[in-house]
Chains A and B, each alone.
Chain A
Amino acid sequence: MTDTPPLFTAKGLRKAFPGVVALDGVDLEVHAGQAVGLLGENGAGKSTLVKILSGVHQPDEGEMTFEGESYAPRSAAVALDAGIGMVHQETNLLPGLSVMENIAIGRMPLKRGLIDYGALRNHARSHLARVGLEDLDPASPVALLSVGARQKVEIAKALALESRLLVLDEPTAALSREDSEILFELIDDLKAEGVGFIYISHRLFEIPRVADSVVVLRDGARVAGWPRGDVPTEEIIQAMVGREVDQKFPAPPDTVGEELLRIEGLTRHGVFEDVSLSLCRGEILGIAGLVGAGRTELVRALVGADPLGAGTIHVDGRTVRIGSPEEAARAGIAMVPEDRKEQGLALDQPVRDNATYPMLDHMAERGFVRPSALNRLTEQLADRVELRGHPMQLAATLSGGNQQKVVIAKWLPREPDIVIFDEPTRGVDVGAKQAIYRIINELVEEGKGVIVISSELPEVLGLAHRVAVLSRGRLTGVLPRSEATEQAVMQLAVEG
């Protein structure tokens, strides 16, 4: 569409990690003064592509050019020096330092060996002006800035390095609608100055506003591309999910009974608003949504891991107050958290201890727990979840799948009525996945209610009786299994 030579090209990029081909021959072209919308589901290969661009990873095959010259960065510093800047979803600013120090970090202007604060201030001010922050005091600490302002400071920092290509990775994930629009105007201005953009977003409705062309990745390959930005959302979604849902999920048992859990108007201000849902005995409720939609935050508040702003929780028709995970467990609600290494397991403690933490108080006879009883319980649990490992082995030495089984197993003896699984199969192998699906189905067959959150859409659709979809902290729909197609869910998930 343009006659000028492209600012950046990539041809046949391929990158394999042990066990997975993350990128499989991807081509990309960015022109000066234009933005490419780079789209794809989680795990499609976007981040790998970005990491190759920014020098974090080196490609196994393929070539890149930048401004007409061959480009093969060996490190992130090389990429920055070449003029390719990155702005991440979570900003990489140091909150304790001032705006000007953040902008010039690593290259502070010096005078006789000391930092020249006058020059530093002027340097920061000129770049802040380019992103519309001319009124911001360069000496103010980053910690005091709003998320939107931080995003702009991050862009100013990239511009200070004379970046001609900026990669924006989900820049609006934490921004309000107004702040997003201000960011888009800034992008327009910078485009006019000849800066090229790679724009990654799950918010498909933003794409026509920002992008001049669109590229869709799926399973590491480029599956679609349009030389224009105003591509209908349906076409993009079709390209993103294209694959058929494979039948690796056991059909959910026909076990749905009477209502077990009802939440009304659950709110945590700025995170999720006014979410009302119900869960029946014997039912698997899937919660879908994009990263940052508030899924994890919702269930964490439900089990008292985070404070809840407003709303009521009813279990079996009784209103319960849940202020801590301990109280949630007593109300019969257990959660298998999102990040097993940070939230699920004390990695330096034995499997035996990890698997019995929720039971410690319940195992005491006359106030004392016998380690032999803990061993016995651990062995029973290991049988039940097909755990491979010695009870005294440190949790850190288990494989991902076995670690996850420990995190699940620890709740089973408490017989919770409601079990919440947040990303239950992230980073686990196929065998462990099947075991985890089997446990989930066993729970509902016993009449318990299960909530499953997963970023893998096919997993949610394959497991759940019903699928609730969150978008930007709001419930945008609840679909019965028969209507919960990837298309339908994605449509609700990108709804603003």
Chain B
Amino acid sequence: MADSNEHSATEPQEPQARISRRVRALLEPLVSGSGPLLGLIVLGTVLAVLAPNFLTVGNLFNVLQQITVLAVLALGGTAVIITKGIDLSVGSVLGLGGVVAGYVFATAGLPMGVAIVAGIAVGALAGLVNGLLITYGRLPPFVATLAMLSVARGLALVLTGGQPITGYPSWFRWIATFRLFGVVPVSVLFVAGLFVLGTMYLRYRPTGRALYAIGGNEEVARLSGINVRRAKLKVYTTAGALAAVGGLFLTARLNSAQPTAGTTLELDVIAAVVIGGASLNGGSGRLTGTLVGALIIGVIRNGLNLLGVSSFWQQIVIGTVIAGAVMTDTLRKPAEG
């Protein structure tokens, strides 16, 4: 109970102290969360030395394009994990969103614009159901989204009879294929835009900031007058909608909506968020970190491909990186008990 005010406050308001505080505040976001970024740089440097064609503009944009789907899903996953939740259903919802859009366009014969809206709406609906099960049904997020993982995948298979739906208008495929100035994939720009919006949301919107309160201590958030249920419904709905967006990207890239698309992708999503520095205990996480986490996964896959390492070994490497990345974070904190 001793008063521990050593490094306390009532600091003299000298201009110098203020300025240094300012500088610290500016640098803080860059320095904290530097673990994953440093890891990415080291990884990139090693690969640049080992694989001569790694560090080319074309290849780097390939990496970016390969992680667009993962990044879109991890955007929602970050928000979910900040609230101390988990969403295991996003891989299945990705598949469902893709085939719903394919069904509406190819089978029902409606315009592609309508199909896109329908796909995203179904994804949002799946997320909303997750949210309702968690808030009003009082299911743990793990259980609710595990159930949705199964249901959404089943719906995707039922809807298509297990067959892919192919053949889309060229403007739709353009989303995945067009490269600005011949190099910058338009899908990468789109995802970058989403991340900027997401970052603004988490930092500057009251409901975005409230997610950290909920993950920090849900009871405290509730007693502070934050509408926890509404916030959670929004988060899971958004995660579902973003999963469907990922499904549309994948459909555009393959020119085919596969009912099995995105299987086990939810695990990559959690890996990217966790490598990026978010804690599964809730209350922390940044989209910049998650982006770096997704990049690390993408760079490892790409680099190992370039080096001719089999995809079987890639899984071992990625697993090791997940454990190592999170340990660098947890081991820095003092041990408990």
| A→B interface (CB under 8 Å) | 18-19, 303, 305, 324-326, 328-330, 335, 337, 342-349, 353-354, 357-358, 360-361, 363-364, 367-371, 382, 387-390, 392-393, 397-402, 410, 414, 427-429, 431
Given contacts A325-B225, A389-B8, 11 further A-B contacts (CB under 8 A): A325-B222, A326-B225, A326-B226, A330-B225, A347-B216, A349-B213, A360-B206, A370-B204, A388-B5, A392-B28, A402-B3
Categorize the interface residue count of chain B.
20 to 34
Which of chain B's residues have a CB closer than 8 A to the CB of A427? 1
Q: Is the CB of B205 within 8 A of A367?
A: yes
Give which listed residue, B11, B200, B217, B283, contacts A390 with CB less than 8 A: B11
Question: Does the CB pair B209–A335 fall under 8 Å?
Answer: no
Q: A353-B209, A357-B224 are in contact. Are A371 and B217 (CB under 8 A)?
A: no
List, in ascending order, chain B residues with CB within 8 A of A389's CB.
5, 8-9
Name the distance in Å between B196's Cβ and chain A's nearest Cβ: 14
User: How far does the alpha carbon of A431 sit from the alpha carbon of B5 in the complex, in Å?
Assistant: 13
With a 10 A CB-CB cut-off, give which of A326, A370, A429 has the most chain B CB atoms. Answer: A326
Which one of B2, B10, B203 lies within 8 Å of A371 (CB-CB)? B203
Q: Would you call A388 and B205 a contact (CB within 8 A)?
A: no
In the complex, how many residue pairs between chain A and chain B have their CB atoms under 8 Å apart?
Answer: 116
Interface residues of B (CB under 8 A from A): 1-5, 7-11, 25, 28, 200, 203-206, 209-210, 212-213, 216-217, 219-227, 283-284
Q: Which 9 A-B pairs have the closest CB atoms?
A: A346-B216, A357-B224, A329-B225, A360-B206, A346-B217, A368-B204, A349-B216, A388-B8, A399-B3
Query: Can you pick out 18 interface pairs between chain A and chain B where the beta carbons lie within 8 Å of each other?
Result: A324-B222, A325-B222, A325-B225, A342-B217, A346-B212, A346-B283, A348-B284, A349-B213, A349-B283, A353-B212, A357-B224, A357-B226, A360-B210, A364-B205, A367-B206, A369-B206, A389-B9, A400-B1
- Expressed in whole angstroms, the minimum distance between the Cβ of A324 and any Cβ of chain B is 7
CA of A427 to CA of B2, assembled, Å? 10
Q: In the complex, what distance in Å separates the CA atom of A400 from the CA atom of B9?
A: 15
Q: Which residues of B contact A402 (CB under 8 A)?
A: 3, 5
Chain A: CB-nearest residue to B213: A357
Which residues of chain B are near A399, meaning CB under 8 Å?
1-5
Q: How far is the CB of A397 from chain B (nearest CB, A)?
A: 7
Cβ-defined partner of B225 (8 Å) among A348, A358, A363, A368: A358
Q: Which residues of A contact B8 (CB under 8 A)?
A: 388-390
Whether A429 pairs with B225 at a CB distance below 8 angstroms is no
Q: Which of chain A's residues have a CB closer than 8 A to the CB of B209?
A: 353, 360, 369
CB-nearest residue of chain A to B224:
A357
Task: Please measure, in the bound complex, the distance between the C-alpha atom of A273 and the C-alpha atom of B222, giving whole angstroms.
Answer: 25
Residue of A nearest to B283 (CB): A348
- The residue of chain A having its C-beta at the shortest distance from the C-beta of B214 within the complex is A346
Distance, CA A393 to CA B8, complexed state (A): 9
Chain A residue contacts of B220, Cβ below 8 A? 342-346, 354, 357
**Complex Cα spacing A317 to B42, Å:** 67
Contacts of A398 in B (CB 8 A): 4
Measured in the bound complex, the distance between the Cα atoms of B3 and A305 in whole Å is 31
Q: How far is the CB of A428 from chain B (nearest CB, A)?
A: 8
